[in-house]
Amino acid sequence: MARKNLIGISDSPAAPLDAERPAVERPIAGLAPGKRTNALVGGITRSLTNITQKVERAEELERQLAQGHAIVELDPDLIDASFVVDRLGVTPEVQAALVEQIRDHGQQVPILVRPHPEAENRYQVAYGHRRLAALREIGGKVKAVIRALSDEQLVISQGQENNARTDLSFIERSLFAARLEDRGFSRETIMSAIGVDKAALSKMITVVRRLPVEIIEAIGAAPSFGRRRWMELADRLENSGRRAKALSHIRQSVFTEMDSDRRFEKLFALLAETRTRARSEAWLAPDRTRPVRIRDTDTETTLAFSKKAAPGFAEFVRQRLDALYLEYQQETGD
Protein backbone atom coordinates (compact mmCIF):
# COMPACT_ATOMS: atom_id res chain seq x y z
CA MET A 1 0.00 0.00 0.00
CA ALA A 2 1.48 3.34 -1.01
CA ARG A 3 2.25 5.71 1.84
CA LYS A 4 1.43 9.38 1.80
CA ASN A 5 4.07 11.90 2.69
CA LEU A 6 2.97 12.72 6.22
CA ILE A 7 5.17 15.75 6.82
CA GLY A 8 4.14 18.98 5.15
CA ILE A 9 3.31 22.63 5.72
CA SER A 10 -0.31 23.69 5.75
CA ASP A 11 -1.91 27.11 5.25
CA SER A 12 -4.38 26.36 8.02
CA PRO A 13 -3.68 27.94 11.44
CA ALA A 14 -1.60 25.71 13.73
CA ALA A 15 -3.45 24.03 16.56
CA PRO A 16 -1.97 24.48 20.05
CA LEU A 17 0.55 21.77 20.79
CA ASP A 18 0.89 19.88 24.06
CA ALA A 19 3.94 21.31 25.82
CA GLU A 20 5.81 18.02 25.97
CA ARG A 21 9.19 19.70 26.37
CA PRO A 22 9.45 22.88 28.46
CA ALA A 23 11.94 25.45 27.26
CA VAL A 24 15.34 25.19 28.90
CA GLU A 25 17.77 28.07 28.94
CA ARG A 26 21.28 26.77 28.25
CA PRO A 27 24.56 28.71 28.49
CA ILE A 28 26.48 29.18 25.25
CA ALA A 29 29.86 27.49 25.41
CA GLY A 30 32.81 29.85 25.23
CA LEU A 31 30.78 33.04 25.51
CA ALA A 32 31.41 35.42 28.37
CA PRO A 33 28.31 37.04 29.89
CA GLY A 34 27.36 40.29 28.18
CA LYS A 35 29.57 39.61 25.10
CA ARG A 36 27.12 38.32 22.53
CA THR A 37 27.99 39.52 19.06
CA ASN A 38 25.43 40.37 16.40
CA ALA A 39 26.54 37.34 14.38
CA LEU A 40 26.02 35.08 17.36
CA VAL A 41 22.60 36.53 18.12
CA GLY A 42 21.69 35.95 14.49
CA GLY A 43 22.83 32.33 14.78
CA ILE A 44 20.74 31.84 17.91
CA THR A 45 17.73 33.33 16.15
CA ARG A 46 18.19 30.97 13.22
CA SER A 47 18.48 27.98 15.59
CA LEU A 48 15.31 28.97 17.40
CA THR A 49 13.56 29.40 14.07
CA ASN A 50 14.62 25.89 13.03
CA ILE A 51 13.29 24.42 16.27
CA THR A 52 10.00 26.28 15.84
CA GLN A 53 9.69 25.00 12.28
CA LYS A 54 10.27 21.43 13.46
CA VAL A 55 7.54 21.75 16.09
CA GLU A 56 5.20 23.21 13.48
CA ARG A 57 5.97 20.27 11.18
CA ALA A 58 5.17 17.89 14.06
CA GLU A 59 1.81 19.62 14.53
CA GLU A 60 1.15 19.41 10.82
CA LEU A 61 2.06 15.73 10.69
CA GLU A 62 -0.41 15.00 13.46
CA ARG A 63 -3.14 17.11 11.82
CA GLN A 64 -2.68 15.32 8.51
CA LEU A 65 -2.81 11.94 10.20
CA ALA A 66 -6.05 12.97 11.86
CA GLN A 67 -7.48 14.36 8.63
CA GLY A 68 -10.24 12.14 7.28
CA HIS A 69 -10.23 10.01 10.43
CA ALA A 70 -12.62 10.52 13.30
CA ILE A 71 -11.14 11.57 16.60
CA VAL A 72 -12.57 9.30 19.28
CA GLU A 73 -12.31 9.23 23.04
CA LEU A 74 -10.88 6.03 24.50
CA ASP A 75 -10.43 4.66 27.98
CA PRO A 76 -6.68 4.91 28.68
CA ASP A 77 -6.78 1.48 30.34
CA LEU A 78 -7.56 -0.07 26.95
CA ILE A 79 -4.38 1.28 25.34
CA ASP A 80 -0.99 -0.46 25.42
CA ALA A 81 2.44 0.95 24.62
CA SER A 82 4.19 0.46 21.29
CA PHE A 83 6.03 -2.84 20.96
CA VAL A 84 9.33 -0.91 20.57
CA VAL A 85 10.42 1.50 23.30
CA ASP A 86 11.90 4.74 21.95
CA ARG A 87 12.63 6.66 25.16
CA LEU A 88 15.07 6.23 28.02
CA GLY A 89 12.78 7.79 30.55
CA VAL A 90 11.26 11.21 31.14
CA THR A 91 12.16 13.36 34.13
CA PRO A 92 9.34 13.85 36.67
CA GLU A 93 9.58 17.63 36.21
CA VAL A 94 9.04 17.44 32.45
CA GLN A 95 6.11 15.05 32.80
CA ALA A 96 4.57 17.16 35.57
CA ALA A 97 4.70 20.21 33.28
CA LEU A 98 2.83 18.28 30.58
CA VAL A 99 0.21 17.10 33.08
CA GLU A 100 -0.32 20.69 34.22
CA GLN A 101 -0.58 21.97 30.65
CA ILE A 102 -3.21 19.37 29.71
CA ARG A 103 -5.06 19.91 32.98
CA ASP A 104 -5.31 23.65 32.27
CA HIS A 105 -5.97 23.61 28.52
CA GLY A 106 -7.15 20.12 27.69
CA GLN A 107 -5.64 17.66 25.23
CA GLN A 108 -5.15 19.70 22.06
CA VAL A 109 -3.61 17.01 19.81
CA PRO A 110 -4.88 13.42 19.62
CA ILE A 111 -2.59 10.44 19.98
CA LEU A 112 -2.30 7.85 17.20
CA VAL A 113 -3.24 4.24 17.95
CA ARG A 114 -3.99 1.07 16.03
CA PRO A 115 -6.26 -1.86 16.93
CA HIS A 116 -4.09 -4.19 18.99
CA PRO A 117 -2.86 -6.99 16.72
CA GLU A 118 -3.01 -9.60 19.49
CA ALA A 119 -5.75 -8.47 21.91
CA GLU A 120 -9.38 -7.90 20.96
CA ASN A 121 -10.96 -4.57 21.90
CA ARG A 122 -7.59 -3.10 22.85
CA TYR A 123 -5.29 -0.58 21.15
CA GLN A 124 -1.58 0.04 20.73
CA VAL A 125 0.10 3.47 20.65
CA ALA A 126 2.08 4.61 17.62
CA TYR A 127 2.86 7.95 19.27
CA GLY A 128 1.59 10.01 22.16
CA HIS A 129 2.87 7.90 25.06
CA ARG A 130 3.49 10.90 27.30
CA ARG A 131 0.09 12.40 26.61
CA LEU A 132 -1.45 9.03 27.40
CA ALA A 133 0.47 8.86 30.70
CA ALA A 134 -0.64 12.41 31.56
CA LEU A 135 -4.31 11.58 30.87
CA ARG A 136 -4.03 8.48 33.03
CA GLU A 137 -2.82 10.68 35.87
CA ILE A 138 -5.49 13.34 35.33
CA GLY A 139 -8.31 10.88 34.73
CA GLY A 140 -10.87 10.76 31.96
CA LYS A 141 -10.75 9.78 28.30
CA VAL A 142 -7.89 10.27 25.84
CA LYS A 143 -8.50 11.71 22.37
CA ALA A 144 -7.14 9.38 19.73
CA VAL A 145 -7.12 8.65 16.02
CA ILE A 146 -7.47 4.96 15.24
CA ARG A 147 -5.71 3.70 12.12
CA ALA A 148 -5.09 0.19 10.81
CA LEU A 149 -1.28 0.19 10.76
CA SER A 150 1.14 -2.58 9.93
CA ASP A 151 4.17 -3.00 12.19
CA GLU A 152 6.28 -1.11 9.63
CA GLN A 153 3.77 1.75 9.39
CA LEU A 154 3.55 1.99 13.17
CA VAL A 155 7.31 2.31 13.75
CA ILE A 156 7.67 4.77 10.87
CA SER A 157 4.89 6.95 12.31
CA GLN A 158 6.43 6.62 15.78
CA GLY A 159 9.89 7.58 14.56
CA GLN A 160 8.81 10.40 12.24
CA GLU A 161 6.77 12.10 14.93
CA ASN A 162 9.75 12.07 17.29
CA ASN A 163 12.07 13.33 14.54
CA ALA A 164 9.74 16.19 13.73
CA ARG A 165 9.84 17.34 17.35
CA THR A 166 13.61 16.85 17.76
CA ASP A 167 12.38 15.03 20.83
CA LEU A 168 14.85 12.17 21.25
CA SER A 169 18.55 12.32 22.07
CA PHE A 170 21.24 10.68 19.96
CA ILE A 171 21.46 7.56 22.12
CA GLU A 172 17.66 7.19 22.29
CA ARG A 173 17.38 7.29 18.50
CA SER A 174 20.32 4.88 18.17
CA LEU A 175 18.85 2.42 20.66
CA PHE A 176 15.45 2.68 18.94
CA ALA A 177 17.15 1.83 15.62
CA ALA A 178 19.02 -1.13 17.13
CA ARG A 179 15.84 -2.46 18.70
CA LEU A 180 14.04 -2.24 15.38
CA GLU A 181 16.88 -4.16 13.71
CA ASP A 182 16.72 -6.80 16.45
CA ARG A 183 13.03 -7.25 15.64
CA GLY A 184 13.85 -7.95 12.01
CA PHE A 185 12.96 -4.63 10.40
CA SER A 186 14.93 -3.79 7.26
CA ARG A 187 17.49 -1.00 7.21
CA GLU A 188 15.24 0.84 4.70
CA THR A 189 12.33 0.81 7.16
CA ILE A 190 14.58 1.95 10.01
CA MET A 191 16.01 4.79 7.89
CA SER A 192 12.45 5.97 7.16
CA ALA A 193 11.54 5.76 10.83
CA ILE A 194 14.43 7.82 12.20
CA GLY A 195 15.13 10.01 9.15
CA VAL A 196 18.81 9.24 8.48
CA ASP A 197 20.80 7.85 5.57
CA LYS A 198 22.48 4.44 5.42
CA ALA A 199 25.90 5.62 6.63
CA ALA A 200 24.50 7.52 9.63
CA LEU A 201 22.28 4.58 10.59
CA SER A 202 25.24 2.20 10.49
CA LYS A 203 27.23 4.46 12.83
CA MET A 204 24.30 4.79 15.25
CA ILE A 205 23.77 1.04 15.49
CA THR A 206 27.52 0.46 15.87
CA VAL A 207 27.56 2.67 18.97
CA VAL A 208 24.79 0.64 20.60
CA ARG A 209 26.41 -2.70 19.72
CA ARG A 210 29.64 -1.63 21.44
CA LEU A 211 27.96 -0.67 24.71
CA PRO A 212 26.24 -2.84 27.34
CA VAL A 213 22.52 -2.03 27.17
CA GLU A 214 22.46 -1.99 30.98
CA ILE A 215 24.87 0.94 30.97
CA ILE A 216 22.94 2.83 28.26
CA GLU A 217 19.69 2.44 30.20
CA ALA A 218 21.34 3.41 33.49
CA ILE A 219 22.74 6.63 32.00
CA GLY A 220 19.53 7.50 30.18
CA ALA A 221 18.92 9.97 27.36
CA ALA A 222 21.96 12.22 28.08
CA PRO A 223 20.66 14.87 25.64
CA SER A 224 23.87 16.92 25.71
CA PHE A 225 26.05 14.15 24.28
CA GLY A 226 26.27 12.94 20.68
CA ARG A 227 27.91 10.09 18.78
CA ARG A 228 31.53 11.10 19.36
CA ARG A 229 31.26 11.12 23.16
CA TRP A 230 29.32 7.85 23.25
CA MET A 231 31.99 6.24 21.05
CA GLU A 232 34.66 7.50 23.45
CA LEU A 233 32.72 5.95 26.32
CA ALA A 234 32.59 2.66 24.38
CA ASP A 235 36.38 2.85 23.91
CA ARG A 236 36.84 3.20 27.65
CA LEU A 237 34.64 0.16 28.26
CA GLU A 238 36.76 -2.09 26.02
CA ASN A 239 38.84 -2.98 29.06
CA SER A 240 37.06 -5.75 31.01
CA GLY A 241 38.23 -4.35 34.34
CA ARG A 242 36.79 -0.90 33.63
CA ARG A 243 33.57 -2.46 32.31
CA ALA A 244 33.10 -4.37 35.57
CA LYS A 245 33.86 -1.17 37.50
CA ALA A 246 31.22 0.71 35.46
CA LEU A 247 28.55 -1.97 35.99
CA SER A 248 29.17 -1.83 39.73
CA HIS A 249 29.06 1.98 39.82
CA ILE A 250 25.77 2.42 37.94
CA ARG A 251 23.94 0.34 40.56
CA GLN A 252 24.80 2.74 43.38
CA SER A 253 22.09 5.09 44.61
CA VAL A 254 24.39 8.12 44.37
CA PHE A 255 24.58 7.47 40.62
CA THR A 256 20.87 6.95 40.00
CA GLU A 257 19.96 10.15 41.86
CA MET A 258 21.81 12.35 39.31
CA ASP A 259 20.22 13.71 36.15
CA SER A 260 21.06 11.91 32.91
CA ASP A 261 23.75 14.28 31.59
CA ARG A 262 25.49 14.21 34.96
CA ARG A 263 25.40 10.40 35.03
CA PHE A 264 27.17 10.31 31.67
CA GLU A 265 29.81 12.80 32.82
CA LYS A 266 30.52 10.97 36.08
CA LEU A 267 30.82 7.56 34.45
CA PHE A 268 32.99 8.97 31.66
CA ALA A 269 35.34 10.50 34.23
CA LEU A 270 35.36 7.36 36.36
CA LEU A 271 36.55 5.31 33.39
CA ALA A 272 39.37 7.66 32.44
CA GLU A 273 42.46 5.54 31.94
CA THR A 274 44.97 6.21 34.67
CA ARG A 275 48.49 5.86 33.35
CA THR A 276 50.69 4.83 36.22
CA ARG A 277 54.41 5.31 35.80
CA ALA A 278 56.09 2.11 34.63
CA ARG A 279 58.28 0.41 37.20
CA SER A 280 61.64 -0.79 35.87
CA GLU A 281 64.48 -2.65 37.53
CA ALA A 282 67.48 -4.72 36.51
CA TRP A 283 67.58 -8.37 37.51
CA LEU A 284 70.74 -9.24 39.42
CA ALA A 285 72.02 -12.67 38.31
CA PRO A 286 73.96 -15.04 40.63
CA ASP A 287 77.18 -14.03 38.90
CA ARG A 288 76.42 -10.40 39.88
CA THR A 289 75.74 -9.34 36.26
CA ARG A 290 72.49 -7.68 35.16
CA PRO A 291 71.47 -9.45 31.92
CA VAL A 292 67.73 -8.70 32.14
CA ARG A 293 65.73 -5.51 32.78
CA ILE A 294 62.16 -6.03 34.03
CA ARG A 295 59.54 -3.37 33.22
CA ASP A 296 56.14 -3.50 34.96
CA THR A 297 52.90 -1.62 34.19
CA ASP A 298 49.31 -2.24 35.27
CA THR A 299 48.69 -4.41 32.22
CA GLU A 300 51.96 -6.15 31.31
CA THR A 301 55.47 -7.16 32.32
CA THR A 302 58.31 -6.85 29.80
CA LEU A 303 61.70 -8.56 29.95
CA ALA A 304 64.54 -6.90 28.05
CA PHE A 305 67.62 -9.10 27.56
CA SER A 306 71.04 -7.51 27.31
CA LYS A 307 73.00 -9.03 24.43
CA LYS A 308 76.17 -7.53 25.85
CA ALA A 309 75.83 -8.89 29.39
CA ALA A 310 74.63 -12.38 28.39
CA PRO A 311 74.79 -13.15 24.66
CA GLY A 312 72.33 -15.89 23.69
CA PHE A 313 70.43 -15.85 27.00
CA ALA A 314 67.28 -14.51 25.34
CA GLU A 315 67.25 -17.41 22.85
CA PHE A 316 67.95 -19.87 25.68
CA VAL A 317 64.82 -18.63 27.53
CA ARG A 318 62.72 -18.56 24.35
CA GLN A 319 63.43 -22.24 23.66
CA ARG A 320 62.31 -23.17 27.17
CA LEU A 321 59.10 -21.14 27.30
CA ASP A 322 56.85 -24.21 26.83
CA ALA A 323 58.47 -26.01 29.76
CA LEU A 324 58.41 -22.89 31.91
CA TYR A 325 54.71 -22.33 31.17
CA LEU A 326 53.82 -25.95 32.04
CA GLU A 327 55.75 -25.61 35.30
CA TYR A 328 53.86 -22.36 36.00
CA GLN A 329 50.54 -24.12 35.46
CA GLN A 330 51.47 -26.93 37.79
CA GLU A 331 52.55 -24.50 40.46
CA THR A 332 49.46 -22.29 40.26
CA GLY A 333 46.89 -24.97 39.45
CA ASP A 334 45.69 -23.05 36.33
Residue of 119, 334, 89 lying closest to 219 (CA atoms): 89
- pLDDT, position 94: 82
Total Cβ atoms within 10 A of residue 86: 24
Residues near 78 by Cβ (< 8 Å), separated by ≥ 6?
Answer: 121, 122, 123
- Element housing 154 (H / E): helix 151-165
Could you report the per-residue pLDDT of 135-169, keeping only the tens digit for each? 999 998 999 999 999 999 999 998 888 776 656 89
- pLDDT, position 278: 67
> In which residue ranges of the chain is pLDDT below 50?
1-48, 68
- pLDDT, position 109: 87
- CATH no. for 62-151: 3.90.1530.10
- pLDDT, position 168: 84
- pLDDT, position 232: 94
Residues near 233 by Cβ (< 8 Å), separated by ≥ 6?
Answer: 211, 264, 267, 268, 271
**Which amino acid makes up residue 159?**
G
- pLDDT, position 166: 56
**∠ Cα 181 231 296 (to 5°):** 130
- pLDDT, position 28: 29
- What are the boundaries of each domain within the chain? 62-151, 169-274, 279-332
- pLDDT, position 3: 41
- pLDDT, position 200: 94
- pLDDT, position 93: 83
pTM of the predicted structure, to 2 decimals: 0.59
Beta strands in the chain (DSSP E): 71-74, 79-80, 111-115, 123-127, 142-146, 279-283, 292-296, 301-305
DSSP 76: G
